[in-house]
Structure 1
Amino acid sequence: MTDTLETTPSATDTAARGPIPLAPGAARLLIAAGAVGTIASTFLSWTWTPDFPGNLTVYGYPAGLQTLALVAGALTLLYGLTLWNVPGLRQLNPRNATTPIFFAALSAFAVCWFTGIAIAVDLGGLVNLDPGAFVAMAASALPVIGALALPHPAPGHGLRGYLAKPDQPRPRTLTPLVERAIITAGTLLALVVFTYGIGINDDDSETFLGFLLVVVFIAWALIHAGLVDTYATISTRHKGFATTLAFAAAVIFPFTQTNDHNANIGVNILIFATVALGLNIVVGLTGLLDLGYVAFLGVGAYAAALVSGSEYSPFQVHFGFWAAALTGMAASLVFGVLIGGPTLRLRGDYLAIVTLGFGEIFRITVNSLDGDSGPNITRGPNGITQIPDIKILGFNLGDAHNIGGFTLGRFANYLFLMLIITAIVVLVFTRAADSRIGRSWIAIREDETAATAMGINGFRVKLIAFALGASLAGLAGTVMAHVNYSVNPQPYMFAGAAPPNSAFLLAAVVLGGMGTVSGPLLGASLLYLIPEKLQFLQNYELLAFGVALVLLMRFRPEGIIANRRRQLEFHEADQIDIPDQKTLPDEPAVSKAGA
């Protein structure tokens, strides 16, 4: 039988041999044997003491990081079997490419070796490792060696070939029912992954780091296999169905949690994401660099706090939630117009500096309205406290409720409210982006001078974007004030405080993908969840995310979830197919010296 690696059409047909000289058959055996060994090791004890998080001392079933190693080993085995033409697995790697197998193997290798090193460091030496850990570390290295023995992927040599995404065949046309089933499976998988990650204890940073390693490398493998692009294409064809399923998954999430603290994390992620979506109108669609956007969130939060019945408010009024929300939106909108009016005639760095200054002016102002430096309105650094919980149609969101045998706590109630508000903001964003004014924003972003020459009133269009983004931030600020029971000036600075602040909001938009809906949602989730779970990073958040942004700008400047137009702009050189000189016989040859 002819070797599969030599007969199967793939992206590596013309590639050089891998960096490790090994026969293709032996490479396949190494990958399969190493994956099976990794899976088997998860049923052994990895350490003798339960002092390490996850209790890895039990034989017979995996726990903690062993579960992650089991998942990574199983995926490595599946991708290894694609080399053997196992029926039903062909679609996992349509081009029979090397890189998906390599990154799947790296996921198992990373989590096994990270766990072994963490046990040795945390407990004081290699003596604390049981045989299962050594088996896992040795077995997980075999698929990496086998993957490196496979044909080296083009283009070029060395690391670049492994980082370059292989060309993918055109996705097959499936029936609508099958495509909807794929979307449903993908949504359920995303819900399981998110639920597992958010359910990791805040003091169990080792398990969360292992979770991140596995998710990153597996996602990388799926991207290089073309499955992510295929899923995105299918979701685009069934956009309404995919959006409905995503919303349904978010509704199901509180019912999967027994700890209301996880629902609290979900509420704050949605608040952060909603504000990031508002900023995406200003930055992603219109191209205005706003470094003081968090001030609009603060205006909405303070306005709602002043009219929601707090005994520390100088205005003894108690508006209902929707009236308070409209008040917060209106105050932020007015504040946005007041800022945008005199500043939006500026461009680029000048606009960024002015907006940064206005953000600081807001924070200093609310700090000064304490009765000593100015009128007693915001109580200065003490803020406005004891903001009552929201009541909607007699339903108090501050009380626990039983629904279908499930107990939903206070934060779960606010999570449902934020889901409604996030849906409203997403609807506003998409409708505005697809409208005439949205096309004007994009024209301003691409070239303001050309847009103005074509008859677009640049100042008016930018002012509308500023005002709309500010009002959406004010709506999120209204909920945030009630969730936290209080508002104070500390969070409303450019950087340094816990998110949301202006630096993290801007990072969420850039990291997730400017001009998209799901990009800021993903970026906000990552930027809020990672510091929450990795407590030791709290003093180095800006350093960590600065490094992440540098790497992102180098390797994927369009963001994790790219807007198609911006992706083509950032990778314009990759889209130009320079023909081979041999295909142009009528053209005179140009020597290097002449060139």
Structure 2
Amino acid sequence: MTTDTTTVKTATADTGARADLFRWIIAAGGLATVASTFMSWTYTDEFPGDLTVYGYPGGLQVLTLVAGLLTTLYALAAQDFKGLRWLAPTGTTKALRLFALGAFGTTWFTVVAIAVELGGVVNLEPGGFVAAVASAIPVAAAFQLPDDTRKARRPKELPSWAEILIIVAAFAIGLFVVTYGIDTEYAELFTGYMITAGFAIAALFKAGLMARLSALTAKYRSIAVAAAFVAAAAFPFTQNTDQFTLIAVNILIFATVALGLNIVVGLAGLLDLGYVAFLGVGAYTAALVSGTTASAFDVQFPFWASVLTGGAVSLVFGVVIGAPTLRLRGDYLAIVTLGFGEIFRITVGNLDGVSGPQVTNGPNGVPNVPDLNFFGYDFGESHTIAGFELGSYANYYLLMLLAMILVILVFSRAGSSRIGRAWVAIREDETAATAMGINGFRVKLIAFALGATLAGLAGTVQAHVQSTVVPEMYVFAGPVPPNSAFLLAAVILGGMGTISGPLIGATLLYMIPAKLQFLQDYQLLGFGIALILLMRFRPEGLIANRRAQLEYHETDQLDVPEKGLPDTGVGITKAGA
């Protein structure tokens, strides 16, 4: 017995020493990767970002620098260096692997891009080779580490001011990360940003740091909401021009409409493939009452009236379309809503005075929609606020931010209300919900009408941002979002039934085509592959609620009572416990 115990202790000590050695190798590799970014990676400035300078990282080198620093930091945290253990409440091994892969992926993408775009590896300077070798060392060592996943301990109680400060700092970092991605000036830098950010965020989740931050935001919910709003509102103040602010405005429009669709699909479980038509209804309504000379109606409503009119007309269309169709279920409902979307596009294309009445100018649409003017504040002109000059798109950005807050408020209140619980019941099992006394048709019609109204509200702003409205903007699938396919993909990708899920999904699905123009012809193929992989590995979406996680990750094994618990005849699994 003594010999066996001694052998086990010796083996454990050897394993621990071996793991410590690999962690120090990872830290050394991370530092070498950081050092390589201060060297020249290519001798010519033809590759974007100017990677020819010694002593000053530029372009993609900055991303490699950040990834290398994070890898080194977590390698030291694994050694409990200077109290860094708090960075990984649930373990460091999985996080280290992801950080190392992020640095490796960004570095090798840059090296390969230099070789491909400039015509061979001869265009690489010694710094490029050093970076390639240095970034591979942490990856090789990280996959030799034993898994140290553990249950997170209860964090040390901090003063309230310190916890609030952590929340503020987290949202400030989030603003910087998002702004950096939107402001990327060329496709190579955006691709590297996506690689680095993707692996880093996944690593922080695996380390348990994001879960701890979520607990803090739940504890100080009102402060977290205010911090999120302030961070989002600060974005236009970080921009010198409107070049990237327009992308942010379109992201907000896309995300707002996706949240409205989330009520229909995520909460009520109604597969709507023609939802973008309600966005078009609001946009056309606002354009026709805006006072433009291209309108068939000689009227000019003030902003608040055009918004209410667009929302009301969309509501009417939602009720008119939903009333005869919502008695259908599943694929049948999807086909009918798809038909409605196509009917809307064809109808507005035919109301040109030749094929039908002169209302929408047919395929030419309604151009020259004037800028909004709200109580003397012209959204089409630049304004100086607190010493910062805000362009026209910055004005629309702040307006759409307020609209999104309204939609989020409606979604959260409706989702937790009695009608919201009825939507979830209908989504889970309509037959059982009806048997329990829920009027399925009325509940679904309310969801359909509310979703249509929110889309119409977003459409009223979109008409003024784009300054023109044409039928081609409201199709089922097309090269430019928002369209019905992209909206549905944003909800599914982000996580149905959540608030942050569609926001993240819409941001990704808009930014990727906007930044990677060379993928315009292949983006539907790429998104199809991404959705297949998502359904295979994370069917609940990037951000999922607890119910979806339990539903999509059920095990088929028989429940076995936990050791030490009385056998009451009901199996208790670890997940259930």
Q: Is the contact between residue 252 and residue 401 of structure 2 (CA under 8 Å) also seen in structure 1?
A: yes
Q: Normalising to structure 1: TM-score of the pair?
A: 0.90
Match of 1:27 in 2: 22
Distance of 1:88 and 1:532 partners within structure 2: 42
Letter matched to residue 174 of structure 1: E
2:413 matched to 1:431? yes
2:380 matched to 1:398? yes
Match of 1:186 in 2: 170
Residue of structure 1 aligned with 2:76, choices 64, 72, 81? 81
Match of 1:159 in 2: none
Distance of 2:180 and 2:139 partners within structure 1: 26
Instruction: Write the deviation string for residues 488-524 of structure 1: whole angstroms up to 9, x where unpaired.
Output: 0002111024100000000111111111111111111
Letter matched to residue 432 of structure 1: A
Residue of structure 1 aligned with 2:280, choices 289, 293, 298? 298
Structure 1 residue 28 displacement after superposition: 2.1
Instruction: Write the deviation string for residues 439-458 of structure 1: whole angstroms up to 9, x where unpaired.
Output: 11111111111111111111
Match of 1:157 in 2: none
Matches within 5 A, 1:42-53: 42-53=37-48
Q: Normalising to structure 2: TM-score of the pair?
A: 0.93
Distance of 1:171 and 1:507 partners within structure 2: 37
Aligned CA distance change for structure 1 residues 259 and 229 (closer, same or farther; 3 Å): same
Residue of structure 2 aligned with 1:172, choices 134, 137, 155? 155
Aligned CA distance change for structure 1 residues 113 and 353 (closer, same or farther; 3 Å): same
| Paired residue secondary structure (1:402) | strand
Distance of 1:96 and 1:389 partners within structure 2: 53
Distance of 1:451 and 1:517 partners within structure 2: 24
Instruction: Write the deviation string for residues 192-213 of structure 1: whole angstroms up to 9, x where unpaired.
Output: 1011111111xx1111111110
Structure 1 residue 173 displacement after superposition: 5.7
Match of 1:93 in 2: 88
In terms of mean alpha carbon deviation, does 400-409 or 293-302 score higher?
400-409
Unmatched segments (≥5 aa) in structure 1: 1-5, 8-12, 154-165, 588-595
2:127 matched to 1:145? no
Structure 1 residue 82 displacement after superposition: 1.7
Aligned CA distance change for structure 1 residues 130 and 579 (closer, same or farther; 3 Å): farther
Match of 1:359 in 2: 341
Match of 1:445 in 2: 427
Structure 1 residue 372 displacement after superposition: 1.1
Q: Is the contact between residue 74 and residue 92 of structure 2 (CA under 8 Å) also seen in structure 1?
A: no
Structure 1 residue 220 displacement after superposition: 1.4
Distance of 2:557 and 2:271 partners within structure 1: 28
Matches within 5 A, 1:443-522: 443-522=425-504
Distance of 1:40 and 1:491 partners within structure 2: 48
Q: Is the contact between residue 20 and residue 79 of structure 2 (CA under 8 Å) also seen in structure 1?
A: no
| Paired residue secondary structure (2:77) | helix
2:105 matched to 1:110? yes
Aligned CA distance change for structure 1 residues 49 and 507 (closer, same or farther; 3 Å): same
2:123 matched to 1:128? yes
Distance of 2:141 and 2:238 partners within structure 1: 39
Match of 2:326 in 1: 344
Matches within 5 A, 1:179-328: 179-201=163-185, 204-328=186-310
In terms of mean alpha carbon deviation, does 232-241 or 56-65 score higher?
232-241
Instruction: Write the deviation string for residues 34-74 of structure 1: whole angstroms up to 9, x where unpaired.
Output: 11100101111111111101000111111110000000000
Q: Is the contact between residue 175 and residue 235 of structure 2 (CA under 8 Å) also seen in structure 1?
A: yes
Letter matched to residue 498 of structure 1: V
Letter matched to residue 186 of structure 1: A
Aligned length: 559
Q: Is the contact between residue 17 and residue 152 of structure 1 (CA under 8 Å) also seen in structure 2?
A: no
Match of 2:574 in 1: none
Q: Is the contact between residue 278 and residue 473 of structure 1 (CA under 8 Å) also seen in structure 2?
A: yes
2:63 matched to 1:68? yes
Letter matched to residue 345 of structure 1: R
Distance of 2:153 and 2:312 partners within structure 1: 49
Unmatched segments (≥5 aa) in structure 2: 1-7, 570-577
| Paired residue secondary structure (1:88) | helix
Match of 1:571 in 2: 553
Letter matched to residue 171 of structure 2: T
Residue of structure 2 aligned with 1:558, choices 535, 540, 545? 540
Letter matched to residue 189 of structure 2: T
Letter matched to residue 531 of structure 1: P
Distance of 2:475 and 2:225 partners within structure 1: 33
In terms of mean alpha carbon deviation, does 578-587 or 564-573 score higher?
578-587
In terms of mean alpha carbon deviation, does 62-71 or 141-150 score higher?
141-150
Q: Is the contact between residue 77 and residue 92 of structure 2 (CA under 8 Å) also seen in structure 1?
A: no
Q: Is the contact between residue 105 and residue 140 of structure 1 (CA under 8 Å) also seen in structure 2?
A: yes
Distance of 2:15 and 2:565 partners within structure 1: 27
Distance of 1:477 and 1:174 partners within structure 2: 47
Structure 1 residue 170 displacement after superposition: 4.3
2:511 matched to 1:529? yes
Identical residues among aligned pairs (%): 61
Letter matched to residue 146 of structure 2: P
Q: Is the contact between residue 56 and residue 62 of structure 1 (CA under 8 Å) also seen in structure 2?
A: yes
Instruction: Write the deviation string for residues 174-222 of structure 1: whole angstroms up to 9, x where unpaired.
Output: 3433332221121011101011111111xx1111111110011111111
Structure 1 residue 152 displacement after superposition: 5.1
Distance of 2:82 and 2:390 partners within structure 1: 45
Structure 1 residue 233 displacement after superposition: 2.1
Distance of 2:356 and 2:154 partners within structure 1: 65
Q: Is the contact between residue 45 and residue 51 of structure 2 (CA under 8 Å) also seen in structure 1?
A: yes
| Paired residue secondary structure (1:36) | helix
Distance of 1:75 and 1:223 partners within structure 2: 14
| Paired residue secondary structure (1:275) | helix
Structure 1 residue 98 displacement after superposition: 1.4
Distance of 1:51 and 1:34 partners within structure 2: 29
Structure 1 residue 582 displacement after superposition: 11
| Paired residue secondary structure (2:294) | coil
Letter matched to residue 398 of structure 2: F
| Paired residue secondary structure (1:557) | coil
Structure 1 residue 579 displacement after superposition: 5.0
Distance of 1:323 and 1:269 partners within structure 2: 25
Distance of 1:586 and 1:571 partners within structure 2: 25
Distance of 1:534 and 1:586 partners within structure 2: 58
Distance of 2:150 and 2:354 partners within structure 1: 66
Q: Is the contact between residue 292 and residue 369 of structure 2 (CA under 8 Å) also seen in structure 1?
A: yes
| Paired residue secondary structure (2:522) | helix
Q: CA RMSD in A?
A: 2.3
| Paired residue secondary structure (1:301) | helix
Q: Is the contact between residue 359 and residue 493 of structure 1 (CA under 8 Å) also seen in structure 2?
A: yes
Distance of 1:539 and 1:411 partners within structure 2: 28
Distance of 1:186 and 1:574 partners within structure 2: 39
Match of 1:59 in 2: 54
| Paired residue secondary structure (2:389) | strand
Q: Is the contact between residue 17 and residue 150 of structure 1 (CA under 8 Å) also seen in structure 2?
A: no
| Paired residue secondary structure (2:143) | helix
Q: Is the contact between residue 223 and residue 229 of structure 1 (CA under 8 Å) also seen in structure 2?
A: yes
Structure 1 residue 234 displacement after superposition: 1.9
Distance of 1:146 and 1:579 partners within structure 2: 39
Aligned CA distance change for structure 1 residues 144 and 579 (closer, same or farther; 3 Å): farther
Distance of 2:557 and 2:180 partners within structure 1: 39
Distance of 1:580 and 1:180 partners within structure 2: 39
Distance of 1:290 and 1:401 partners within structure 2: 40
Q: Is the contact between residue 67 and residue 102 of structure 2 (CA under 8 Å) also seen in structure 1?
A: yes
Letter matched to residue 180 of structure 1: I
Aligned CA distance change for structure 1 residues 473 and 30 (closer, same or farther; 3 Å): same
Q: Is the contact between residue 47 and residue 57 of structure 1 (CA under 8 Å) also seen in structure 2?
A: yes
| Paired residue secondary structure (1:516) | coil
